[in-house]
Amino acid sequence: MKVLQTQLLIIGAGPAGYVCGIRAGQLGLSTVVVEQRKPGGTCLNVGCIPSKALIHAANEFHTVREFSHQGDGVSASGISVQEARIDLAKTMQWKDGIVGQLNAGVSGLLKKSGVQLMQGDARFEDGKTVVVTENGVETRIHADNIVIATGSEPVELSDLPFNDSVVSSTDALSFNEIPAQLAVVGGGYIGLELGTSFAKLGSKVTVVESEDRLLPQYDAELTAPVLDRLQLLGVSVLTHTQAIAFSESDHMLTVKESDQERKIPADKVLVTVGRRARLTGWGLTELSLTTKDGFVDIDEHCQTSMRGVFAIGDITGEPMLAHRAMAQGELVARHLAGQNVSWDKQCIPAVCFTDPEIVTAGLSPDQATEQQLAPKVTTFPFTANGRALSLQRDDGFVRVVSQQETNVVLGLQAVGAGVSELSAAFSLAIEMGALVDDIAATIHAHPTLSEGLQEACLKALGTALHN
């Protein structure tokens, strides 16, 4: 067996692991990253990037299709189209091209930082030793410090095991044809992002959600415009409903709501009921790390219960977001390089790429109230924003949650077409401890959706201009 000695060994080259590797290499640590599949992890290969590519293609197709469906053949903006068509195989090829380009980018960046990327399965022998199996050849790696960045995997329902028809997001992102009837079980992030896309591509979509409303992680005011749009798109929504069985023979999904069973026709069933930590296959049992609710427990340096063993990204639990994973990866590299850093982020923004998009940073009105911060909540509607009107999308609003007494911005949220790009302004404001006065006094370019943020803050001060 080959033997290797390194200062830092990282298991997994997803957003958490590869960012940790790049920064560690840049800071002069001898670093090895082991990846069993492709660099970039879930996010780049079967998550964030391919899903956003599909959402984009679906939006374009839907717009063209709407033009071709106008009553008099001409849209309100004067555009007419004979017939909209899509070649899904070509769409998938285009999406795979983007993924491939980014795979190569990640490998290149690791190389540029002097990091050794090994393709293989990593398995702990003890807290300082990992064996990597690469094409049947084993290498024993001794490392001063080890970072676990093995990510997450889709939750499978025991009543609906994955097969050719019942699939996870990974398969849905590689469908070779658009299912005529698609049932989506789980109306959270993935279910709604992908469900909306397939509805726009022409599928008859039914969303089955066990809670009493979709996107239960967001408040009802924020999700209302998304529900309106789903209705416009012809998506059927069943809440407070459980999917209990799928019959391959007649392609029917049986669902149950308060003891009432019914059947939904479905060529494919997409199960998106959450993701769980990838805890098996790399020897967690050999290490006996402390876990909490099924995820690896960490401290403010992302150190696990074992000294010298760190964990970052989805394996450490919610929020399971790529940008949080990257921030943790960077933090651990800097900590191990001797810098005085610990987790001190004021907020982790979240964007749900539904139609319209939802963006949040900091505290929601309910969270601020629960924390007894006496919040003031102000919303500015996109119906009063020129840019939104000119984009033919005036649904949605910007909302600011501020502290009544001090004017400190506690939280910022928005729902609207294209508002994901407001996430930078939102998190910057919160990270810098802005007051509503600071945002209100900042010149925002016209005409942009971001003026909604300035107007919401002016409104919070009682000095709105356009509302």
The catalytic residue positions are 446
Task: Name the binder of 17 from ligand FAD, ligand NAD, none, CB < 5-8 A by kind.
Answer: ligand FAD
> What is the binding site for ligand FAD (CB under 6 A)?
11-17, 34-37, 41-43, 47-48, 51, 121-122, 149-152, 169, 190, 278, 281-282, 313-314, 320-323, 325, 353
Task: Name the binder of 356 from ligand FAD, ligand NAD, none, CB < 5-8 A by kind.
Answer: none
Is position 278 an interface residue for ligand NAD (rule: CB under 6 A)?
no
The DSSP code sequence of 205-221 is: EEEE-SSSSSSTTS-HH
Closest CA to 426 of 410, 442, 447: 410
Task: Name the binder of 150 from ligand NAD, ligand FAD, none, CB < 5-8 A by kind.
Answer: ligand FAD
The position carrying tokens 């290149």 is: 108
User: What does the alpha-carbon distance between residue 207 and residue 230 come to, in Å, rounded to a whole number?
Assistant: 10
Hey, which bits of 266-324 come out as E strands? 268-271, 275-277, 291-292, 295-296, 309-311
User: What does the alpha-carbon distance between residue 453 and residue 71 come to, in Å, rounded to a whole number?
Assistant: 36
User: What does the alpha-carbon distance between residue 271 and residue 277 come to, in Å, rounded to a whole number?
Assistant: 17
Determine contact, residues 402/408, Cβ cutoff 8 Å. Answer: yes
Closest CA to 35 of 110, 128, 142: 110
Written as one letter, the residue type at 107 is: S
Q: What is the smallest separation between the CB atom of 23 and ligand FAD, expressed in angstroms?
A: 14
- 184 or 287: CB nearest ligand NAD: 184
Q: What is the smallest separation between the CB atom of 277 and ligand NAD, expressed in angstroms?
A: 12
Interacting residues with ligand NAD between 199 and 218 (CB under 6 A): 208-211, 216
Is position 114 an interface residue for ligand NAD (rule: CB under 6 A)?
no
- 48 or 255: CB nearest ligand FAD: 48
Q: What is the smallest separation between the CB atom of 413 and ligand NAD, expressed in angstroms?
A: 15
- 43 or 363: CB nearest ligand FAD: 43
Whether the link from the prior residue into 447 is cis, omega within 30° of 0, is yes
Is position 329 an interface residue for ligand NAD (rule: CB under 6 A)?
no
User: What does the alpha-carbon distance between residue 9 and residue 129 come to, in Å, rounded to a whole number?
Assistant: 9
Rounded to 5°, angle at Cα 205 from 203 and 210: 160
Q: For ligand NAD, what does the binding mask look like between residues 5 and 44, x meaning CB under 6 A?
A: ----------------------------------------
Cα 137 to the chain's mean position, in Å? 35
- 375 or 416: CB nearest ligand FAD: 416
Task: Name the binder of 278 from ligand FAD, ligand NAD, none, CB < 5-8 A by kind.
Answer: ligand FAD
Is position 264 an interface residue for ligand NAD (rule: CB under 6 A)?
no
Is position 253 an interface residue for ligand NAD (rule: CB under 6 A)?
no
